[in-house]
Structure 1
């Protein structure tokens, strides 16, 4: 538990083509705020549009990361967390990758992905990683993608049958599991 004068912070990264006000993002933001977190849900229209080498420095410059930080990413935002965790210089408390992936999940271009990852660096920069994927995901961000990351990083893998956990055709306004997982 953080020292009483230390404010825990959480950053929720939306998925490709999404916005902070869709899906479960605002709901989770409110829940975490009620629990004392300083919450950011930034809008990054360049996510998975700009190449990660150009996009990542902007993200690193826009946020503060410390040992009390919780990072949550959905889909392309979860893929972003891999690059983020590789390149920060602290160990964050938790990272939750929802419908995340580390290799191309389908035939779409994926500029958010790096060619390779320094898995040891990523592992060293997060105390408690979680990977939440569905057995069947319309974009290929499935449990096999979660397992590939889990095998390299450890942590906890959770497999559900909840599709993509929110999409233009899948309302997913709350996400109770996430609220329970975040410490």
Structure 2
């Protein structure tokens, strides 16, 4: 990677639904501050439109057009944010993606169904072709996204995903998650 290309690398943090103030939601602001030195192009953490349903038809254009997602972007998504990233990756190239608590189905929840992410089959091979790397972070005791779903996402992505599974991190609803930062830091150092 050339010095010019490296200077453009940025990260976009895509929150889970229900976050109408992302700077005051779980680990997002803490993570943005922690990983900022790794991204010369900046770390983007902004409130998303439609925060409670997180509709694909609203979030994907927002990520692309408003936040400027491109081939120099690392997308970091949590929960519904991970689902948004997976759908975005089916048609758009990025540098990389970090999927935290990635769901496979709407789990019978009407609000999740209304988002639109789970209405059709996932295009796993397109996702892996459109990102230079994908990291998936899961926890065995996640009470919102069953671990079997998260493992199925990893199988769908195949050998092209780096899968990290914790035993006791739940749905990653803490204000600080050093383990996530460490995984991102390690990966970004391999790109230098």
TM over 0.5: yes
**Which residue of the other structure, out of 55, 60, 80, is the alignment partner of 1:76?**
80
TM-score (norm 1): 0.84
User: What is the aligned partner in structure 1 of residue 163 from structure 2?
Assistant: 157
Separation of aligned partners in 1, 2:48 and 2:77: 12
RMSD: 2.0
Alpha-carbon shift at residue 119 of structure 1 (Å):
2.0
Q: Which runs of 5+ in 2 are unaligned?
A: none
Alpha-carbon shift at residue 28 of structure 1 (Å):
1.2
Contact 2:135 2:162 (C-alpha < 8 Å) held by counterparts = yes
User: What is the aligned partner in structure 2 of residue 86 from structure 1?
Assistant: 90
Number of equivalences: 174
1:27-51 deviation line (CA, Å, top 9, x unaligned) = 1111222334411012114145254
Separation of aligned partners in 2, 1:57 and 1:36: 23
**Which residue of the other structure, out of 135, 145, 159, is the alignment partner of 2:149?**
145
Contact 1:48 1:76 (C-alpha < 8 Å) held by counterparts = no
Contact 2:137 2:164 (C-alpha < 8 Å) held by counterparts = yes
Instruction: Give the 5 Å matches for 1:90-101.
Output: 90=93, 92-101=94-103
Contact 2:13 2:45 (C-alpha < 8 Å) held by counterparts = yes
TM-score (norm 2): 0.80
Contact 2:59 2:84 (C-alpha < 8 Å) held by counterparts = no
Contact 1:134 1:163 (C-alpha < 8 Å) held by counterparts = yes
Separation of aligned partners in 2, 1:50 and 1:35: 28
User: What is the aligned partner in structure 2 of residue 169 from structure 1?
Assistant: none
